[in-house]
Amino acid sequence: RYEAAWLQFAAGVCQSCAPTVLAFDKANGITVLEYLPPDQYALWKDELLAGRVDVDLARRVGQRLGAIHQASAGSQALAQQFDTAEFFDDIRLSPYLRASADKHPDLAARLNTVADATKQCKIALTHGDVSPKNILFNRSTGEPVFLDAECAWFGDPAFDGAFCMNHFLL
């Protein structure tokens, strides 16, 4: 349900940056999205792996995310709707920061402090899984389209940028 709600909110901020949610069945957890044909949309990850780096696309990704973050910042309604901090901790903070803390006891206090602070931060609506594997781009316009927002959470928008950049560094 959070993925469909994030996609709908994002599309309301920048129409072309999320696929249209055609149907959502809350009882069964099924979301139906519009079909984005591969001849019109490419996966950013595939482009990067092929050695095709488009700095303008990276800029547009950041601009669209920034617009979504700004449009949602401070919204009490969205904070209540996306009150998913425990789930977010389970699928994002624990596998990365807390697992690293377990492997590196000398850094554990710092890593757990960052994880706790991130979990407590409530600034804006955040995608939570911004990576090149979850971003298509329109081959004609170059506009990014965000997918797979199942990690959506009302939290620290810096996480989206950091999570995406992490994929470039590793």
- Domain coordinates in residue numbering, the chain: 38-169
Which residues have CB under 8 Å from 35's CB, separation 6+?
none
Q: What is the pTM of this model?
A: 0.93
- Confidence at residue 170, expressed as pLDDT on a 0 to 100 scale: 72
Q: Residue 86: is it exposed, middle or buried by C-beta count within 10 angstroms (0-12/13-18/19+)?
A: exposed
Q: What is the DSSP string of the chain?
A: -HHHHHHHHHHHHSGGGS--EEEEETTTTEEEE----TTTEEEHHHHHHTT---HHHHHHHHHHHHHHHHHHTT-HHHHHHT--HHHHIIIIIIIIIIHHHHH-GGGHHHHHHHHHHHHH---EEE-S--SGGGEEEETTT--EEE---TT-EEE-THHHHHHHHHHHH-
Query: With 80 as the cut, is the pLDDT of residue 116 above it?
Result: yes
Q: pLDDT tens, 58-114?
A: 999 999 999 999 999 999 999 999 999 999 999 999 999 999 999 999 999 999 999
Domain 38-169 has CATH 3.40.50.10210: no
Q: How confident is the model at residue 136 (pLDDT cuts 50, 70, 90)?
A: very high
